[in-house]
Structures are given as structure tokens and as C-alpha cells.
Amino acid sequence: MELNNQPQPEVYSDKILDKTEGEGVEFVKQQHQIQIEDPDSWQNEESNHNFILASADALINWSRSSSVWPVNAGLACCAFEMISTASSRFDISRFGMEIFRPSPRQADLLIVNGTLTWKMAPQLKRIYEQMAEPKYVIAMGSCAISGGLFRNSYAVVPGVNKIIPVDVYIPGCPPRPEALLYGIQMLHKKIKKQRNFEKRKSA
Amino acid sequence: MTVELQATEVAAKLEAAFPGCTIESSGNTIVIKDEFALKAATFLKNAAGLDFNYLNFLTATDYQTYFEVIYDLVSLEHNHKLVLKIKLNNREKPELASVTGVWKGADFQEREIFDLFGINFTGHPNLKRIFLWEGFQGYPLRKDFKQ
Amino acid sequence: MALKTETFLVNAGPQHPSTHGVFRMRFILDGEVIQDVEPVFGYLHRGIEKLAEGLTYSQDMVFTDRLDYLASMTNNQAYAVAVEKLAGIQVPERAEYLRVIMAELMRISSHLMGVGFLTNDIGAFLTPLLYMYREREKILDLFDMVCGQRLTYNYMRIGGVSQDIPEEFLPALKKFTDTLPRFIEEYEQLLATNEILLVRTKNVGILTKEAAINYSTAGPVLRASGVKWDIRKAEPYSVYNRFNFEIPTATKGDVYDRYRIKIEEMKQSIIIIKQAMEQLPQGEIQAKVPKVLRPPKGEAYGRIEGPKGELGFYLVSDGATNPYRLHIRPPSLLNLTPLRELVIGVKIADAMAIFGSIDICMGEVDR
Amino acid sequence: MPTFTHNILPTVLNTGILAPDWPAGFWSHMIIFVVILFLFVIFMAMGFIYFERRVISRFQIRIGPNRVGPFGLFQPVADVIKILIKEDIVPLNADKLIHLLAPVAAIVPAIMVFAVIPFQNGAALANLNIGILYIVAISSVSVVGMVMAGWGSNNKYALVSAMRVIAQVVSYEIPLALAIIGVVLFAGTLSMNGIVLAQKIPYILLQPLGFLIYFLGSMAEINRTPFDLLEAEGEIVAGYNIEYSGFKFALFYLTEYTEAIAVSTIITTLYLSGWRGPFDSLPVLPVIWFLIKVFAVFAVIIWVRATLPRLRIDQVMGFAWKCLLPLALINLLITGAQVVFWPNVSQWVFVGVNIVLAGVLIILFSRFFRTTGDKIEA
């Protein structure tokens, strides 16, 4: 039995890959003008829950808020504060959040930690889209919130909320781990308020 | 302590090897003509007593009328250094010979200059944008770059 | 029977647990073996060099913090050295000593992270990393004490440092330098006597001396390949010529050597800090520098030995308040240049170990 | 002799459904025991997840989950509810049927192993007289599920992971089976309960080398560190389950821990004298002894996971073929000789001899088999 090594398929050539990547970036750059729907709009709607649905909601929300698994994704400086939060001193595992899933499919929370560049934007958007519902996003640090120090740059996205909807914003450059923990607790509170059995009017 | 070589002495050696290649030399800086770039680089790397085996960094500056490409050369053996500069007057289509064959460390740095200044390095094995994406308009570190 | 086989492309990154940020490697794989790799950068390219041209010299200091965010202090120092060289500013002695202490603490911190993430890439489930983090937190506490920040300090200013150390700093520092060698010893025993770690690191990713020089690598990568080159000795800046310390070198240039060098350098850093603490003079901490600095026309290249290698800032001034051109010599980017040669022909697992041993920081690679 | 199935269970439940004679109450008996076993496995898995997270946290000088319920005990409950109601994604180009079946194919064999595990004297779902053979046969079938997942996901990382797991499991199956034969030779029976009954001395003392081989081999079989190439996070991200989410991922997650429990119980049964212990004639005590031993074995597995880095694929394979296989053969030879030629010698003599022999062999092999100098083969 002999192995017959075929030449590489044409789609693997660097030129084509780079070209598609560039097109993706340009596409996201055009798309970001479109306003993203406010992820918090449901909070003001009135609830028409009965007792059973409310207790089912309570159970579901309890489980969702008690085990929020973040994606193992880091962008820039703030990533190190995120890892610090997971490390022994601050210990995110107390909240059951130490399982940083490398695959976005199994994660619930995307912590956008650091400067988002246009070249990275399609990738981040893809990570977000790969995540299974329900999914939450924390924008950590001023770069993620608004572009921060690098807002005027030619390569930086002025705020992640132009690309993906954000649930919690944590200011700071970088925010201290305590701030991240506080933001995570805010997210827990938000999850506990969710109503899972009613159709949203806007949706 | 790193010795900063007298540029005039090195320039004399360069002149002896390639007559008419230097434009000026002062301090630790030699400015040479762009067509001699590769030859001068090879010479500086291999010449006995100079042995510039280490390309410390490679960058460029936009002086609005011309580009200046800067090679910061160090010899780890003798612990001396020299700055080599090349002026490129053609703003529309700046071109320069690649020195990746001499110092492989120039690889990413030349790509960076190509990306941010638009200087074309002929002979580079994989010259394409390094930091920005394909389809980005303009060269950001040029002074006339507009977003 | 002829089997038709095909190489296939696997994309590692930009979001990948082992790429230390947003780096991307396009592997062409033949089974487990890497046939070719195309490193792709730029996912963190923020255009610092362009932004710096629009701000004044002292404002640009904040960008340096965010270059190599694991070694912000040394970045500060490199930029300050470059501007001082350009403007001809003499830094007070006490400030120089404080800078040395901070830079060496930063080096320890950065190397701790380098070793920790290397073991993580090799597959140790977080444990060594978290122990390294414990020591790093102690250093961050010290920095917190002097400047109130954990990651981006902006402590060193043009012509000195931003503020003097508080009273409780020196005792805390002494306690730290007394205890750290014991911890390093402990980690070394745990790691360096571990057969699996040795198997995974020895003879993997060998970078020869000639190649290391030709590829313009710097810092631990260069020294692991047997080149005794350290800016602190080769061209002593600040007050480094007043301290006794060694430059550790290795011979082989494999992953293990690069790991060893970092451990040894941490020990040397402690020796330097101890000497600096003894010699620390009283006096000014900030030279007289005009609020808006206008350096004379000209250019300057200031360089220091950062944790990852020679970190330099090339500045061009046209006499205005803003730098005309600011170029950063990024050790991380240049250390990555030999990556392609190192990983071709090895297995994926080794590629990650090699990549981890080079110890890069994407903020500095992409700038 | 009071047995769990026939005497204690009826008194505990006091329902009268369980007829002591099989022909009348066979099916109800079976169904109840299957349900009990299933719940046992699920709850044990959840307990193991909690246990592992807490223990690893202590290794890493952390606290671990402690906010959800008392001491964080409800953490796995929350995880399970959350993950079961999470969205289920099937990739566009996936092989849909295989993608769907893979988690089932993975978890069913893992749970089936428990059918022959004696929780106390005779208390197994099926006290097969070839129990150990059944385990050898069934325990590696889970791999099929993982390969299906790797193939069906249409993901290259998953495929690499699947290829790795095939190579790994096929290699480690051989030393594993050979190590078990040593136990069988001493016990003189293939029945799991018989093996426990035969263990006057725990076989870990009588078969130290066999125990080590079995332990390392089974670690590779269930893909735990340092052989966790299947899920090598730093290399191939999450491995075979990279494209799975929601319920299906929960099944894979459960499989991983079920296999760990299975291996812990098998090691307990084969080498740690199963349910035996002081006062094991009392009603519930044997089960408690058994569980204590299982958790102890699992604690060692966690310890290894928290400490060691991961091997490379060629080193993993080399370890199986160059180190474990010869050792297993030598172990079999020694055991065979002891059983055949000196059947009447006190077993305590063999304990001493075997421990010394195991020490010598391991030292010899560690000198002999230097992985350090290995060249990287293309």
C-alpha cells in the first residue's frame, strides 16, 4: 500500500484565504453602521406570568446564573486581569465559573477583554454567533466599551456594541479583578430577572 | 559598552568596494544610494572587522518629500553598531531591494514597512500586508494618510 | 493499492487557548505533523505608532504601558530613556535606582508568566500557572503600592518617576526578595524534575546560535541559543554598571533552555534588586522637565533590555511638541521570526510548546 | 449469606414487589435495579464533578465552587439544568445522523460497565461468571462514540482528536488486558464477585506491577491527564466534542465522568478488594467501604490531573508499546510461574517478591526507556 500525496487544494492558498479575510473585515465594517437592537429592552416590558411559569423561571434562571461558563478568549491587556480573576487570589470558581470552555459552543458568556480591531471583529462576531443560546456578553475595559485610548486609530472598532449586543459594561483601563467580579454579579442579577416563557413584543 | 563606529571610516571601506555608493556620512550614520542597498548590506555583514551579523531593527520614516529606510546594525562579536540609511525619492512607487537574504530577521520588518508605508521590497519571499487586512486603503504611517 | 491522502489546513487562532492572545497560525498538516505554517498577525494592531505622532511626548507614555502589557514598567523605561536621550535630560540618581528596582520586578513578573503559560501550553492543567500567579500578585501589590495600578502603571516619566516610594514599600520589597528564591527553588524542583516536562521540552525546537543571530532574536531566546548578549552588560543604561550580576546563557537553544534561562534570570533579578535596595540614595526623583517638551531637531534610539529582549524606541523629532516618528523595536515580533523554521516538521503539540517558549505578548507584536 | 438484592433491598423498600424467587419477580426486580443503578451513576457522576472541582481548587490554592447551595453542593445540579436547556446546535455540514448518535454511542457502554460491578457480596445487576471479560469487551466501545463525534462534526480539530483516540485506545487495550490476566490467574475466576471473594490480600500488594500497568493503561483509556490528547485544550481546543452544545455535550461530559467512575470501581474491585473491609458482614457497611475506595482511587486520578503536563502523541504510543507491553508480559510470566509452580506457598511471600520485582523492573525500565533522548519522528 503506498501513499499518494496529493498537492494542496487551491482553496488553501494564502492569497485566497487573505482575500476572503479582507472581504470579511470590509463587510463587518460596512455592517457596523446598522444599529444593533438593545439587548436590555425586555427589562421594561410588563410581565404576564402566572405562578407556575414564575417558579419555573426561577429554577431556570437560578441554574443559568449559577453556572455561567465563559469562553476562553482573550484579546489584549484586560485578558490578563480576566485570568487574574480566575487565579487563586480572586477565584472566579467560587461562582462556578472556572470552567473556561475553549469551544464557544459550550460557553454562556463572552468577556470581550481588550481592544477590538477591525481585523479581529469578524472573528469575534463569529465566536459570538457560534455560542449557543442563552448567551451573554460583558464588555470589559474602556477599549471594549468605546475604543478607549485607541478610539481615533484607523484599525480599532469604536466599541464592541457596534458589532455584538453587550449586556454588562465594566469601565476601567484595565478594570481591576474586583470590578470584573462586580460586573459578573451584575450579570447574575440580570439573568435572574429574565422571563423565559413569554414572547417578546419586539422580537 | 557598545562602540558607535565612525561612519566616515566605514564609508571609506564601502567606497572602496562600491565606488560612488555613499551620499553622506556623519556621526554613526551612513546614507547610501538605494541601488546599492543589497550589496552594501552583504558587504557590511561579511567584511572582516565589521561583521554586522545582527540586524537590530529596520524601519522607515516619511519625510513628506522622500522616504528614509533605516537599518540599525549591530555586531554581537565586536559590540559595535552603525546606522545605515537609504533615501527613496520616488513617492509614487518606492522600491528597494530586500535584505532578507542577508539577515532573515528583516522578514517581518520589511513586511511591516510594506504594510504601513507602501515601500515595495523586491526579492522578499512573501511580501504582503502583515498587520492590516487585504483591501485596506492607503498606508497609515505616511504623513498624507487620511482615514 | 494506492491510498489518496491529502494535507489539510488547520487554523489555530486568533481565538485559541494556546496562542497567547490573538495570534493566528495557519498550519498545513500531514496527519499530526506540520508541513507548513503561515503566521498571521495584526489582530491587535492598534496603530500606536501613528497615534503617537498626534500626541505630545509625555502623552505618548500611556501607549507604552499597553504595548507589552506583561511588562509595562520596562516599556515605560525604554520610552523614557529614548526621550531623555533625544532631549538630553539627566535623570536624578534616586529615580534611576527606583527604575531599576521596578524594571527588575517587572522582569520577574513577566518571566513568571512566561514559564507559567509555557507549562500550560505543554498541558499542565493550570496548576503551575496559578502558582506563578500567586507570586506575580505579590509583585503587583508592590506596584499597587507605588502607583496605584495593577497592570498599566505609567509610573516612569520623562526625567524620572511619577512619585516617590511610600514608607512601607522597602520593607515589603525586602520581604518579597527574601521569600521569592525559596518559591522559585520549589517550583524548579517540581517542574525540572518532572520527567514528562523534560520529555516535552528537551530537544524540541532547537534554534542554533547562527540562526538565532541571523533571525534578529533577542533576550532569553537569543541567550538560550548560546549568545551572551544583554543590553544591561553590552551597553549599560541607567545604573546597571554599578551592580554585580551574571548573564545566564545556555548552549542548545531548545524549549527547555529557554525555560531555564527565564528561571535563572529571575534569580539574577533578585540579586540586582537587593543591591539596588542597599545602594538606594536619597534625593530628587524627577528632573526639571518643561511641561511641554520640545526636544531639538534630530533623532535618537534608546534601548533597554526588556524581559522579552531588546526593547528600543526610535524617535525622530522635528522640533515640535509631538514626535515626528516613533518606531518601536518589538522583541516579541522579532523573536517570532524563526517560528516558521522551528515548527516545520514537528507535531502540533510541540509547535505549541515552541510557541509558548518564545514567550510573546501580542500587544507588542502588533502594536 | 445476606445479599443486597435478595434480602436487604426488599426490607429497605418493603414494597413486596420484589419476589425473592426470580421467575415470579424477575422483570420488576431487574427494572428497579436498573433504575437504581442508573440514578446511582448519574448522582455519582455529579458528585465526582463537584469533588474534582473542589479538590483541584485545593491543589491550585483556590477555594472552588462554594456559592451555590451549602459548600457549593448544588453546583453540579445547576450545571446540569443549565446545560440541558441550552440551545442545541448542529453544524451546517455535519453528518447529521452520526452527529446525533455519537453521544448516545459514547455514554451507553460507559454505563453498561456497571452491570457487573459488585457493590457488595453478590450485589451486581448481573453476576456474570465472565464479568471481567465483559468489562474488557465493553469498556472500550465508548471510543466509537467519540470517533463518530469527531467524524460527524465536520471539524478538523474534532477529526484530529478522533484519530488520536483510536490510536491511543487500541494501543492501551493490550497491556490493560494482559494486566488483568494476572489478577485472573491469582483469583482463578473471571467473575467480578469471585475476584473480590478471592482477595484475602488486596491484589494491589500481590500484583503491584499489574496494578500500575492497569492504572496507567486505564488513564489512557479514559483519556485523563497525562494522556488527555483527546481533549488537549492547548492543541486541538476541545477535541472531539468541539461542535457539541446543550444536551449532547452534557452526555459527553457525563461520559467522561462515568468512565472515570467505571475505572475507579474496576480498580477497586480488581486490586483493592472491592467491598471487603472490616465488619463487611454488616448490612450497609460493604457499600460504604466500596464507595470510600472508589473515591480514593478517583482522588489519585485528580491528583495526577492537577500535577502533570501532557505527553505528545508519539510519546504516548511509545509508552504503551515500548514500556507497558513488555512490563505486562513480564508480569504475566512471573504471575503464571508463581501460580503454576508454587501453588501452596503462602501469598504473603509473593507479596514481598512481587513488590521487589516490580521495583527492580520499574527502575530498569526507567533507565532503559529514556524518552528524553527520543528524536522527533516525522
SS3 B97: strand
Instruction: List the Cα angle C63/C68/C72 in 5-degree steps.
Output: 70
Do C42 and B55 make contact, defined as CB atoms within 8 angstroms?
no
pLDDT at residue A12, rounded to an integer: 64
Count of beta carbons in the 10 Å neighbourhood of residue D278:
7
Using CB atoms, pick whichever of B126, B135, B145 lies closest to residue A22.
Answer: B135
**What are the extents of the domains in chain C?**
57-338+347-366
The DSSP-derived string for A182-196 is HHHHHHHHHHHT---
State mean pLDDT over D181-187. Answer: 86
Q: How many CB pairs under 8 A join A and B?
A: 29
| CATH number reported for the structural domain that contains residue B14 in this entry | 3.30.460.80
Do C47 and A9 make contact, defined as CB atoms within 8 angstroms?
no
The predicted-structure confidence for A114-125, as pLDDT tens digits, reads as follows 888 888 888 888
Q: How sure is the predictor about C2, in pLDDT bands with cuts at 50, 70 and 90?
A: low
Do A105 and D244 make contact, defined as CB atoms within 8 angstroms?
yes
Which residues in chain C are closer than 8 Å to D313, comparing Cβ atoms? 32, 347, 349
The DSSP-derived string for D128-176 is -TTHHHHHHHHHTTHHHHHHHHHHHTT-HHHHHHHHHHHHHHHHHHHHH
Q: How sure is the predictor about A49, in pLDDT bands with cuts at 50, 70 and 90?
A: low
pLDDT at residue D9, rounded to an integer: 52
Do A96 and D78 make contact, defined as CB atoms within 8 angstroms?
yes
State mean pLDDT over D277-285. Answer: 76
Q: Is B51 part of a structural domain of the chain?
A: yes
- Residue of B57, B13, B6 whose CA lies nearest to B39: B13
pLDDT at residue A48, rounded to an integer: 64
Q: Domains in chain A, start-ordered, CATH in brackets?
A: 69-192 (3.40.50.12280)
Provide the sign of the torsion angle of the four alpha carbons A186, A187, A188, A193, taken in this order: positive
CATH 1.10.645.10 fits C57-338+347-366, yes or no: yes
Kindly tell me if the per-residue pLDDT of A161 is higher than 70.
yes
pLDDT at residue D307, rounded to an integer: 83
Which residues in chain A are closer than 8 Å to D77, comparing Cβ atoms? 63
Q: How sure is the predictor about C322, in pLDDT bands with cuts at 50, 70 and 90?
A: confident
Q: How sure is the predictor about C292, in pLDDT bands with cuts at 50, 70 and 90?
A: confident
Percent of chain A with pLDDT over 90: 0
Domain with B72 in it: 3-97
Kindly tell me if the per-residue pLDDT of D1 is higher than 50.
no
pLDDT at residue D24, rounded to an integer: 44
Q: Is D226 part of a structural domain of the chain?
A: yes
Q: Which residues of D, range 281-310, sit inside 8 Å of C by Cβ?
A: 305-310
pLDDT at residue D16, rounded to an integer: 43
Domain with D165 in it: 81-368
pLDDT at residue D15, rounded to an integer: 45
Q: How sure is the predictor about A202, in pLDDT bands with cuts at 50, 70 and 90?
A: very low
User: C337 to chain B, minimum CA–CA distance in Å?
Assistant: 6
Do B135 and A155 make contact, defined as CB atoms within 8 angstroms?
no
Q: What is chain C's mean pLDDT, rounded?
A: 85
The predicted-structure confidence for D50-99, as pLDDT tens digits, reads as follows 888 888 888 888 888 888 878 888 888 888 888 888 888 888 888 888 88
Q: How many CB pairs under 8 A join A and C?
A: 121
Using CB atoms, pick whichever of B79, B108, B132 lies closest to residue C333.
Answer: B108
Kindly tell me if the per-residue pLDDT of D216 is higher than 60.
yes
Q: What is chain A's mean pLDDT, rounded?
A: 81
Which chains have 3+ CB pairs within 8 A of C?
A: A, B, D
pLDDT at residue D85, rounded to an integer: 86
State mean pLDDT over A148-172. Answer: 86
The predicted-structure confidence for C76-91, as pLDDT tens digits, reads as follows 888 988 888 888 888 8
Which residues in chain B are closer than 8 Å to A14, comparing Cβ atoms? 126, 128
The predicted-structure confidence for D102-148, as pLDDT tens digits, reads as follows 888 888 888 888 888 887 776 666 777 888 888 888 888 888 888 88
Instruction: Return the bridge partners of C316, or none.
Output: C299, C325
SS3 A137: strand
The predicted-structure confidence for B74-85, as pLDDT tens digits, reads as follows 888 888 888 888
CA–centroid distance for D50 within its chain = 18
User: What is the count of structural domains for chain D?
Assistant: 1
Q: Is B143 part of a structural domain of the chain?
A: no
pLDDT at residue A147, rounded to an integer: 83
Kindly tell me if the per-residue pLDDT of D152 is higher than 80.
yes
Which residues in chain D are closer than 8 Å to A70, comparing Cβ atoms? none
pLDDT at residue A7, rounded to an integer: 57
pLDDT at residue C1, rounded to an integer: 57
More confident residue, B113 or D314: B113
pLDDT at residue A198, rounded to an integer: 65
Residue found under cell 529614548: C82
- Residue of C214, C255, C267, C283 whose CA lies nearest to C352: C255
Kindly tell me if the per-residue pLDDT of C4 is higher than 50.
yes
Give Dmax over CA atoms of chain D in angstroms.
Answer: 68
Q: Is D345 part of a structural domain of the chain?
A: yes
User: What is the count of structural domains for chain B?
Assistant: 1
CA–centroid distance for B64 within its chain = 18
Residues 6+ apart with CB under 8 A from B16: none
pLDDT at residue D374, rounded to an integer: 46
Kindly tell me if the per-residue pLDDT of D377 is higher than 60.
no
